């Protein structure tokens, strides 16, 4: 549960963090981030580009590091390429190596060195100067490969221009199911290996061997984390009852504003990590920004669950000793949050709302984030 929570938190907030356009030149390297990023200055050495739409429109003599939703390499590279996005398209020649990851990957220009491409749909239609590694759900090769090739795919097709001069290693779910024409590579240079991984979302894999977790085991995990969150909330409520009570009151009075404040507060930390990385000098601070965002999000989950429990306990008769009600509010809210999380699809949305609402209440009490939260 914790691993899934951190992954979803990062995916949810990473894109809004890049909304502000930033540009810097250090030495002869260019750094750009924003909603739509286009690098069209000639004579640069290295390029570092991040945004929703990212395009390299002018040649660089060194390397290019690119990340975004739609990533296009439309000019030649004198060095190597490192790119990730929902869709990555290489239209300019890469003199060095290329490491690419995306949902759809299209290599339509030659790569002088090694090509490593990972995605759901991967297409290579230009020559590869050295070795080739392709991992995808649907893979198409229609170009010559000078060196060795390693391919893992559910569906593999070869075009008329496909040729592998070295060896080919195929990772198959069932050995012998993928057809390799003799014109591409002779059978004696083909090694077929049974895939020892389970495919997840097409290209991405994790080690196999374990049985699928039962619903009972999943429920047990959620409830265990609910108990842990409840214990943390109970301790916080006993140590700082006024502060936890004030946070709960804020959540109940202005829940929607708390969600917005939490979203903005987390975006500030995650976006700050991206922006200081662009300066190179502040790159060492980036992990601390992101760790702070994770810590704030987890603390927000505790606060949000406590606020939910406080609302439920407000409907029950008051206890003679107030601390009993505070402890019960922490555990009731945490366990309710865990149960809500078990609901398919909507459960995760509700959990994220609880987390961001609690984060928003906390953000108003942090001097660095209070101005934005208000």
Residue spans of the domains in the chain: they are 17-207, 215-373
pLDDT at residue 1 above 70?
A: no
> C-alpha 37: how far from its chain's center?
20
Q: How far apart are CA 257 and CA 253, in angstroms?
A: 9
Q: What is the mean pLDDT of residues 288-312?
A: 83
353 — pLDDT class (breaks 50, 70, 90)? confident
DSSP H helices in the chain? 2-14, 215-239, 241-253, 255-278, 286-313, 322-341, 346-363, 367-373
Share the mean pLDDT of the chain: 80
Cα–Cα distances in angstroms (integers) from residue 367 to residues 42, 57, 274, 373, 374, in the given order: 43, 42, 21, 10, 11
25-32 long-range contacts, CB within 8 A, separation 24+ = 26/279, 26/280, 29/62, 31/278, 31/279, 31/280, 32/278
Tens-place pLDDT, residues 9-27: 443 333 443 344 456 666 7
Answer for the pair 266, 372: CB distance below 8 angstroms, yes or no. no
Q: Which residue has the tokens 């590279």?
A: 77
Tokens of 40: 């069209």
> C-alpha 39: how far from its chain's center?
24
Tokens of 221: 């995990």
pLDDT value of residue 285: 62
pLDDT value of residue 211: 46
Q: What is the mean pLDDT of residues 42-66?
A: 89
Question: What percent of the chain shows pLDDT beyond 70?
Answer: 79
Answer for the pair 198, 208: CB distance below 8 angstroms, yes or no. yes
* Cα atoms found within 13 Å of the Cα of residue 141, Cβ hemisphere only: 29
* Cα atoms found within 13 Å of the Cα of residue 298, Cβ hemisphere only: 17
- 3-state class of 140 per DSSP? strand
**Greater confidence, 87 or 320?**
87
> C-alpha 324: how far from its chain's center?
41
Q: How far apart are CA 214 and CA 284, in angstroms?
A: 42
pLDDT value of residue 19: 40
pLDDT at residue 135 above 50?
A: yes
């Amino acid at each position: 549960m914790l691993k899934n929570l951190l992954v979803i938190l990062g995916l949810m907030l990473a894109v809004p963090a890049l909304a502000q356009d930033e540009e810097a030149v250090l030495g002869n390297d260019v750094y750009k981030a924003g909603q739509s990023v286009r690098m069209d200055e000639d004579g640069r050495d290295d390029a570092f580009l991040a945004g929703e739409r990212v395009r390299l429109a002018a040649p660089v003599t060194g390397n290019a590091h690119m990340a975004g939703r739609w990533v296009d390499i439309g000019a030649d590279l004198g060095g190597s390429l490192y790119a990730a996005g929902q869709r990555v398209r290489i239209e300019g020649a890469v003199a060095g190596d290329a490491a690419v990851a995306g949902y759809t990957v299209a290599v339509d220009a030659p790569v002088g060195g090694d090509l490593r491409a990972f995605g759901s749909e991967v297409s290579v239609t230009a020559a590869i100067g050295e070795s080739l590694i392709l991992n995808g759900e649907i893979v198409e090769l229609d170009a010559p490969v000078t060196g060795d090739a390693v391919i893992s795919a559910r569906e593999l097709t070869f075009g008329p221009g496909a040729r592998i001069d070295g060896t080919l290693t195929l990772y198959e779910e069932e050995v012998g199911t993928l057809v390799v024409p003799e014109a591409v590579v002779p059978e004696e240079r083909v090694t077929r290996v049974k895939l020892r991984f389970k495919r997840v979302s097409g290209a991405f894999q994790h080690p196999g061997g374990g049985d699928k977790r039962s619903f009972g085991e999943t429920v047990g995990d959620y409830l265990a984390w609910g108990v842990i969150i409840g214990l943390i909330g109970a301790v916080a409520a006993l140590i700082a009852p006024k502060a936890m009570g004030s946070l709960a009151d804020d959540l109940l009075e202005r829940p929607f504003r708390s969600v917005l404040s939490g979203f903005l507060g987390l975006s500030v930390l995650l976006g700050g990590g991206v922006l200081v990385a662009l300066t190179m000098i502040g790159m060492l601070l980036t992990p601390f920004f992101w760790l702070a965002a994770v810590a704030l999000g987890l603390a927000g989950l505790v606060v949000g669950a406590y606020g939910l429990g406080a609302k439920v306990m407000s409907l029950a008769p008051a206890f003679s000793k107030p601390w009993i009600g505070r402890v019960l509010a922490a555990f009731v809210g945490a366990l309710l949050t865990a149960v809500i999380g078990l609901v398919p699809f909507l459960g995760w949305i509700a959990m994220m709302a609880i987390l961001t609402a609690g984060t928003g209440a906390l953000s108003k009490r942090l001097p660095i984030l209070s101005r934005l939260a208000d």
